[in-house]
Amino acid sequence: MKTIYFVTGNVGKMQEVKKLCEGAGIHIQQVEYPYPELQCDDMEEIARHGAQDAANHLGKRIIVEDAGLFISALNGFPGPYSSYVFKTLGNEGILKLMAGIKNRKACFKSVVGYCEPNGEAVTFSGAVDGEIAREIKGEHGFGYDPIFIHDGKTFGELTTEEKNKVSHRYGALKKFIEWFNTCDKKIFN
Ligand code: IMP
């Protein structure tokens, strides 16, 4: 199996990415490397820059993944600032911000960045629509999963396998896997 190194400290993401990629014949190895996250609104630019930096620094084939929650009634907030907002406000803080707001529409976006040492980074994106719940629900997943409803259930109520059939990360990785597995320019070990 071909090995790709996934730069992340997030165990939940690792579990999802590993299951999706290994089902497609790609072995995923976690590596922790604190790549500098660009301070900008463009998730593709953040992923491209992160993948390039990590691939060159570690000398390995790398993927990074950047995700965010975009809430319509809050003009896309927290968006690219999802990580900081989760740490500071958390799910309860988001529910408070949404108190009394009827429009609960939201979407998750994911961008996967792939790069080889001294190569050009490429990116793949995915998204899933849903709604912000009125209460925290579900024991599975991580981050905003227990407040994001898709098809009647929060992501927190889904197993990894169930979430992996519909999620933003699945959408981005599906494109990446198709590209990676058919790209005959690459020389694999
Ligand atoms: P990042 O991609 O690790 O920067 O994620 C930004 C924030 O969104 C973090 O607080 C994550 O926990 C959260 N997040 C990312 N992906 C997901 C997801 O699939 N479900 C729920 N929360 C997520």
DSSP string spanning 43-110? HHHHHHHHHHHHHHHHTS-EEEEEEEEEEGGGTT-BGGGHHHHHHHTHHHHHHHHTTT-S--EEEEEE
Task: Give the residue, out of 144, 150, 162, 167, with the most ligand 1 atoms within 8 A of its beta carbon, to mutate for a pocket test.
Answer: 144
- Report how far apart, in Å, the C-alpha atoms of 73 and of each of 102, 105, 165, 188 are: 9, 7, 27, 46
Q: What is the pTM of this model?
A: 0.94
66 an active-site residue? yes
Q: For residues 81 and 104, is the Cβ–Cβ distance under 8 A?
A: no
Cβ(66) – ligand 1 distance below 6 Å: yes
Distance, CA 103 to ligand 1 centroid (Å)? 22
Q: Which CATH number belongs to the domain containing residue 103 in this structure? A: 3.90.950.10
Rounded to whole angstroms, the Cα distance separating 65 from 144 reads 16
Q: What's the pLDDT score for residue 49?
A: 94
pLDDT tens sequence for the chain (189 residues): 889 999 999 999 999 999 999 989 999 999 998 876 677 788 999 999 999 999 999 999 999 999 999 999 999 999 989 999 999 999 999 999 999 999 999 999 999 999 999 999 999 999 999 999 999 999 999 999 999 999 999 999 999 999 999 999 999 999 999 999 887 545 444
The range of the structural domain enclosing residue 161 comes to 2-188
Beta-bridge partner residues of 154: 149
Beta carbon of 81 within 6 Å of any ligand 1 atom: no
According to DSSP, residue 35 is labeled: P
Q: Which residue has the tokens 């009634």?
A: 73
Question: Which residue type, as a one-letter code, is found at position 94?
Answer: I
How many distinct structural domains can be found in the chain? 1
Which residue of the set 41, 42, 53, 66 is catalytic? 66
Find out whether the beta carbon of 86 lies less than 6 Å from any atom of ligand 1.
yes
